[in-house]
Amino acid sequence: MPKKFIRRYLPDPKAIKQQRYLRMFGDLLHDPNLWLLNRRSASGAFGIGLFFAFWPVPFQMIFSAAAAIPLRVNLPLSIATVWVTNPITMPPIFYIAYLVGSTVLGTKMTHFEFELSWSWLMQSITTIGPAFLLGCAICSVVAGIVGYFGMDSIWRWSVMRAWKSRQTRGK
């Protein structure tokens, strides 16, 4: 069942409440709905986390938490799902986003080499930036929607399977 599997890997609520970057939310973190794990909260959290995972900005977890709190979905799951994009997966994921953006804009893909400098960033904003940002936006929306409905479907399927299993054992 997804609930048992997810709960096994989620961090302790006390540990999350003590995170430095989440202190700005103060008493909002005491809402018990943020810590519930049911189909609605898990699907919403998964969708939110995947939506913000494709944003090419630092501190994606703060954005995910800021969206999870008013929507009252599972906070730990929404924060954890953002880590789909981590230092290892970011290059291929963002390259795919650039491919998507270039395809949608109909622009020719340019070869570029990453350089960690302000001048490279400013120059890249005008060359590859529009295609990259559009691709990130498209991938963000698609991943959020697929994540929401995918988790919802998996949860429903798991509950129905458990229900049928209990029925056949009772006969």
pTM of the entire structure? Answer: 0.81
Q: By CB neighbour count within 10 A (0-12 exposed, 13-18 middle, 19+ buried), where does 123 fall?
A: middle
Q: Please write the tens of the pLDDT for every residue from 71-86.
A: 999 988 998 899 999 8
- Region 24-52: mean pLDDT is 85
Quick one: angle between helices 90-105 and 129-170, nearest 10? 110
User: Taking all residues of the chain, what is their mean pLDDT, rounded to a whole number?
Assistant: 85
pLDDT higher for 17 or 54?
54
Q: Where are the domains of the chain?
A: 2-88+135-170
Q: Please write the tens of the pLDDT for every residue from 126-162.
A: 888 899 999 999 999 999 999 999 999 999 999 899 8
Q: What is the spatial distance between Cα 171 and Cα 166, in angstroms, rounded to a whole number? A: 9
Q: What is the spatial distance between Cα 144 and Cα 117, in angstroms, rounded to a whole number? A: 31
Cβ neighbour number for residue 50 with a 10 Å cutoff = 27
Query: Where residue 171 falls among pLDDT bands split at 50, 70, 90?
Result: low
Q: Quick one: which of 33, 43, 3, 5 has its CA closest to 144? A: 43
